[in-house]
Chains A and B, each alone.
Chain A
């Protein structure tokens, strides 16, 4: 069963504007972690941000923030002040339980930043 859903295959955003990339997940485990990764054309996966299921506050890392809505099982990534270098594939991922590194990834969203 698909556990991570990213419904936007592609997104466009104007440079310097904010953009939200959607991610919904499905789990019955009360303990889980949600991750966002960026994959430029070079292929390397770059860790962006993490949200734990018990975290009370939304995670933020510089221009990245995670809009965590636990009841809706959604973990959207918000990128503020987009830059041309943000153009890449973005993957949402989830790991259930603790001590378990079986990470499940969504299909990804290709973000293109327009000058």
Chain B
């Protein structure tokens, strides 16, 4: 079974631009979560989508948004990029079930804002 895939793997953008990151979950997984990882703040939860609906949201400004499609693929968008948005963005998928529904992560998209 294929793992979680994220595209692109690396991205360089300029301040003020916007960016869209894509995540394809493991087949059959309906929950997709997004995280931002930076050296200073560590791993921070952005939001989670389940069956095309945002189910949970972290403490990030409205410039960060996302959506999920009917095939469970998810996109994350960041508008008006700031230097501080430079980070590794990780996507994780999980299968709803009884056993803790552990999350499986993709390789991440490393975003650099200049």
Contact = CB atoms under 8 A, between A and B. Distances in A.
Contact of A33 (B31, B90, B100): B100
Q: How large is the interface on B (under 10, 10 to 19, 20 to 34, 35 or more residues)?
A: 20 to 34
B100 A52 contact: yes
A11 interface: no
A35 interface: yes
Q: How large is the interface on A (under 10, 10 to 19, 20 to 34, 35 or more residues)?
A: 20 to 34
A60 B8 CA distance: 35
B107 A43 contact: yes
Contact of B99 (A44, A50, A106): A50
Interface string B71-114: 00000000000000000101010101001111111111010000
Interface stretch (A19-27, A72-80, A97-105): A97-105
Interface of B: 31, 33, 35, 42-45, 48, 50, 55-56, 58, 88, 90, 92, 94, 96, 99-108, 110
